[in-house]
Amino acid sequence: MSASWPDPVAAAALRSADIAARAPEIEAARRLPADLAASLSADGLMHLFLPAACGGPEVPPAHALAAIRALAQADGATGWCAMIASTSALTAAYLPPDAAARIFAPATGGPGAGGPPIVGGVYAPFGRARPDGAAGHRLTGRWPWASGSANCRWLLGGALVAPDDRQARDASAGRRPEMRLFLFPADQARLHDTWDAAGLCGTGSGDIEVADIAVPAGHSLSLTGGRPMVDTPLYAFPIFGLLALGVASVAMGIAAGALADLKALAQAKRPQGSRRSLAERPHVQAEVAACEAEWQAALALIEAVVAEAWDTAETGAGELTVDHRARLRLAAVHATGTAEAVTGRMYRLAGGNAVFRSHPLQRRLRDVNTATQHVMVTQPVLETVGRVLLGQEVDVAEL
């Protein structure tokens, strides 16, 4: 981790009270306020996985995930935006160094001046690109779920590349079409305000769209076989593995907040007709204890598999194996499901208080259930992991 940046966990903790106080404002605005995005960026919390070679903090996974959890405990949408921006910054490690230096060069004016730009977008290949000779590609597409895009200086979008003669022959032979991730200036895109969602309302995850823009050579990377050009331990971790762990960390932070909300409510609430507070009721005590254990167990699994993979990466023992990758994804799916269950149980224990928008538990319930819908932590991931565990062949790109 670069010494020029503040400790991310301490920085997240320092900002937590202010973020929590602004959570209703963030939800009402349906996006992260520009001033908050800029302050998080100044602390490196929007660039956790940006290489030190590009001026980033290059935070080890365990530490970065802890910072994301802390932000999400304060407000799920804020944690989500920091996670998306930080995982988007991973792309810098896969770009030619000169292109990465151009894209992630510090801003000279406006919000975030003096630090790396906020980058975000969508990995899914909803776009179409066609080769443009040595110049690069021409890109057209519209991508939903572009979290935090209003605060980005650069955007990214996945696309299928229109086949040239060789690729057409490959397609006819049953080979997978080329998928690439393209980075382009935000001012070349149109932002569509489509984000009217049940949860994570403050993430501003509307659509982004471009029409036949030029993307220079070097401003894209392969999603089907790209290898990092930065040879440090962090980038031995697969992009999708870190993205899945990021989603899980947001969910776990939300669940931690739900546990804290219920504990605070339980001290004061006395259900109608009762002389005992919620905290004095045995069934509440047992349920809180069980949920605390489940949350801690899910966190322990993440920490264990991340530590094992980090040790492999840091000691230079080679690339992470398919087993490492599968275990990272399994831990992420398990933690997300656990977080959803814990949050729901805290919501139910709270009774009628939690149905009002003035109480944070109803927002946490909506936020965590929205997080569970991310493709990185859904049921098909378990099917892929199960194939690994049963000794079946698996496409490593799925992990």
> pLDDT band for position 125 (50/70/90)?
very high
**Looking at residue 175, what is its pLDDT?**
60
Q: What is the CATH number that goes with domain 119-222? A: 2.40.110.10
**Looking at residue 164, what is its pLDDT?**
62
d(CA 74, CA 71): 5
Lookup: tokens for 120: 């975000």
Q: What is the CATH number that goes with domain 237-398? A: 1.20.140.10
pLDDT tens by residue, 328-350: 999 999 999 999 999 999 999 99
**Looking at residue 202, what is its pLDDT?**
98
Residue 164 and residue 335 in contact, taking contact as beta carbons nearer than 8 Å = no
**Looking at residue 270, what is its pLDDT?**
79
pTM: 0.95
Averaged pLDDT, 75-82: 98
Q: Where are the domains of the chain?
A: 8-94, 119-222, 237-398
pLDDT tens by residue, 187-216: 999 999 999 999 999 999 999 999 999 999
**Looking at residue 398, what is its pLDDT?**
82
Residue range 8-94 in CATH 3.20.20.10: no
> pLDDT band for position 111 (50/70/90)?
very low
Phi, psi of 103 (to 5 degrees): -70, -40
d(CA 130, CA 168): 13
pLDDT tens by residue, 4-34: 899 999 999 999 999 999 999 999 999 999 9
> pLDDT band for position 167 (50/70/90)?
low
**Looking at residue 396, what is its pLDDT?**
86
Which helix (H) or strand (E) segment holds residue 127: the answer is strand 119-131
Residue with tokens 């823009």: 213
Amino acid at 375: V
> pLDDT band for position 183 (50/70/90)?
very high
Q: What percent of the chain has pLDDT over 90?
A: 85
Q: Is the pLDDT of residue 170 over 60?
A: no
Q: Using CB atoms within 10 Å of the CB of residue 395, give its burial: 0 to 12 exposed, 13 to 18 middle, 19+ buried.
A: exposed
Amino acid at 55: G
135 versus 255: which is more confidently predicted? 255
**Looking at residue 107, what is its pLDDT?**
73
318 versus 205: which is more confidently predicted? 205
